[in-house]
Structure 1
Amino acid sequence: MESLIPIYTLEQFAEFNNLTVLNKDILSLVCTPDDLDAIDLNYPMKISSFSLLLVTNGKVRLNIDFQEVALQQNDIIFLYPNNVIEFLEVSTDASFESLFISGEYFTNLNLQMNSKDALEILSSNYSKILSLCTNSIGHITTSFERLRFLNNPANETIFYKEMQKGIINLIMYELAGYLQKQQNNLLKTYRKEDIAIRFANLVGQHYQTRRDVQFYADQIFITRTHLTRTIKEVYLKNPKQIIEDKIISEAKILLLKSEYSINQVMMELKFEDQPTFTKFFKKKTGFSPNAYRRSLASA
Structure 2
Amino acid sequence: MTEIKRYDLHKNDPSKLHFEVNNARKYLDKNLKHAAIPHRHSFYQIIWFKEKGRHYVDFEVVEHEAQAVFFINKNQIHYFCPDSSNEGFLFHFNDEFINTHGPGRMERFSTTIFNEIGNRFLKIPATEIQKMGLITSYIESEILAREQNYREQIYHHFQTILYLVERLRSKANNFDLKSHPEYKMASDFKKLIFQWLDAPKSIDDYASALGTNSKSLTRICKKYLLDTPAHIIRQSKLLEAKRMLSNQKTSVKEIAYSLGFEDPTYFTKYFKKGTGTTPKEFQRKVL
Q: TM-score, normalised by structure 2?
A: 0.76
Q: Which of 156, 162, 165 is residue 175 of structure 1 equivalent to? A: 165
In the other structure, the counterpart of 2:263 is 273
Query: Does residue 247 of structure 2 align to residue 257 of structure 1?
Result: yes
**What is the CA distance between 1:58 and its match in structure 2?**
1.0
The correspondence for 1:159, drawn from 142, 149, 164, is 149
Equivalent residue, structure 2, for 1:25: 18
Aligned residues of 1:23 and 1:161 also touching (Cα < 8 A): no
Alpha-carbon distance in 1 for matches of 2:224, 2:146: 46
1:32 touches 1:95 (CA, 8 Å); kept in 2? yes
Correspondences of 1:208-227 after superposition (within 5 Å): 208-227=198-217
Say whether residues 1:282 and 2:276 are aligned partners: no
Query: Counterparts of 1:131-146 in structure 2 under 5 Å?
Result: 131-146=123-138
Residues 215/70 of structure 1: CA separation in 2 closer, same or farther (3 Å cut) = farther
The SS at the match of 1:172 is helix
Contact 1:23 1:151 in 2 (8 A): no
Distance 2:88 2:64 in 1: 10
Report the CA distance shift for 1:248/1:89 in structure 2 as closer, same or farther (over 3 A).
farther
Counterpart residue type for residue 43 of structure 2: S
Is 1:98 aligned to 2:90, yes or no? yes
Return 5+ residue gaps in structure 1 as ranges: 13-21
Q: Shift of residue 272 of structure 1?
A: 0.8
Identify if the C-alpha distance between structure 1 residues 126 and 257 changes in structure 2 by more than 3 Å, giving closer, same or farther. Answer: closer
Tell me the residue number matched to 1:186: 175
SS in 1 for 2:10: helix
Structure 1 residue 57, shift from structure 2 partner:
1.0
Q: Which residue of 1 aligns with 2:74?
A: 81
Alignment partner of 2:101: what SS? coil
Deviates more, 1:193-202 or 1:165-174: 165-174
* Contact in 2 for aligned 1:108/1:115 (Cα 8 Å): no
Matched, 1:195 2:189: no
**Which residue in 2 is equivalent to 1:19?**
none
The Cα of 1:26 is off from its aligned counterpart by 0.5
Structure 2 regions of 5+ residues with no counterpart? none
Q: Give 3-state SS (helix, strand or coil) of 1:73's partner.
A: coil
Q: Is 1:230 matched up with 2:220?
A: yes
Decide whether the 8 Å contact of 2:272 with 2:279 is kept in 1: yes
Q: In 2, distance between residues paired with 1:101 and 1:71?
A: 23
Following the alignment from structure 1 to structure 2, what is the Cα–Cα distance between the partners of residues 115 and 295? 36
Q: Give, in whole Å, the separation in 1 of the partners of 2:125 and 2:207.
A: 37
Query: How big is the alpha-carbon RMSD for the aligned residues of Structure 1 and Structure 2?
Result: 3.8
Check conservation: 1:123, 1:197, Cα contact below 8 A: no
Check 1:24–1:121 CA distance in 2 against 1; reply closer, same or farther (3 A cut).
Answer: same
Identity %: 18
Following superposition, the deviation at residue 193 of structure 1 comes to 2.8
- The 1:210–1:108 alpha-carbon spacing in structure 2 relative to 1, beyond 3 Å, is farther
Q: 1:59 to 1:232 in 2, by over 3 A?
A: farther
* Equivalence for 2:102: 110
| One-letter amino acid of the structure 2 residue matched with residue 167 of structure 1 | H
2:53 is equivalent to residue 59 of structure 1: yes
The alignment of Structure 1 onto Structure 2 pairs a total of residues equal to: 277
Q: Which SS does the other structure have where 1:198 is aligned?
A: helix
- Give the residue type in structure 1 aligned to 2:24: C
Q: What's the CA shift for 1:250?
A: 2.1
Quote the offset at 1:244 in angstroms.
Answer: 1.9
TM-score by length of 1: 0.74
SS where residue 28 of structure 1 aligns?
A: strand
